[in-house]
Amino acid sequence: MDKLVFPTLADADRKLPLYTDIIGHWDNQETIDRPQGFPHYQWLQVTGGEGELWIGEERYTVKAGQGFCLFPGVPHRYSTIREPWDIYFISFGGNMSKEMLALAGIKEPGLYSVTDSEMIVAHLRGILAMAQSGLPFLGIECSKLVYLFLLDLMKVIQVSTQSAQQYYTKLNPVIRYIEEHIDSMMSIQELSTRIDVTPQYLCRLFKQSMGMRPMEYVNRERINRSKELMFLGREYKMHEIASMVGFESASYFSSVFKKLENMSPEQFKKMHGIH
């Protein structure tokens, strides 16, 4: 059933980091031609049929299970090839929109495959239901749902031949090893042997799934563990905590802590009332 909802937004709602502009569903998407583009970001998830998408001079064939993302002000056109071209869609804005899409690997408009299209459709149906509900603070409620939608999009989007979930699965033995040996010295070479890959490929896996290099991840885990020890083991001296999370010296531990947390371990303890 065709549905199109424009949630009523107050001026304050349009200042939210994310807000819903339009949400809807077409049983058979009609031709859309926008030479000047559209003012908001859009995600369109195809659940049936087949269509043709043009973004600038690039042409894509869009099938069920795929989605396409459109950026503000970018010329585009899309139309049906095989009916019914069934589509759920959302238009959204806010100053977090670009950043959230980039975190999902969507840095330019185009066609994307997802590993769980049903979950994406469930999100869009949920936002559609909320937009029709007439509940108080509707803009805020829709904003929360758009945020959840974009978070889950990060988990299922395919920006290459492997999904983020596949990268995480591949890295699981390395992640477990880091957790179990956080108090020990470790190198990229040693970590790479855990999944029988080269250090270079391990770096690629971490960058694709975590957005950081392996040793940066190790240091972040060590600092997180040190914060737990500050709370749970208040009798420990700082040099003892440094040793317990794998740092050679208290000074190096303090240097890494300050770099990652923008404060020293002592300032962290004071801020949280740890004596």
> Domain locations in the chain?
3-158, 164-271
The reported pLDDT for the residue numbered 150 is 96
The CATH fold assigned to 3-158 is Jelly Rolls (2.60.120)
The reported pLDDT for the residue numbered 31 is 94
The CATH fold assigned to 164-271 is Arc Repressor Mutant, subunit A (1.10.10)
How far apart are alpha carbons 125 and 84 in whole angstroms? 19
- pLDDT above 90 coverage of the chain, percent: 71
| pLDDT over 60 (residue 164) | no
| pLDDT over 70 (residue 143) | yes
What mean pLDDT value characterizes the chain? 90
| pLDDT over 70 (residue 16) | yes
The reported pLDDT for the residue numbered 272 is 81
The reported pLDDT for the residue numbered 160 is 44
- Residue 38's contacts (CB-CB under 8 Å, 6 or more residues apart) are 70, 72, 73, 76, 91
Q: What is the mean pLDDT of residues 201-223?
A: 88
How far apart are alpha carbons 234 and 225 in whole angstroms? 13
pTM of the model: 0.66
Tens of pLDDT, residue by residue over 91-103, are: 999 999 999 999 8
CATH topology agreement for domains 3-158 and 164-271: no
Residue 166's pLDDT band, with cuts at 50, 70 and 90, is low
* Residues 212, 216, 221, 224, CA torsion sign: negative
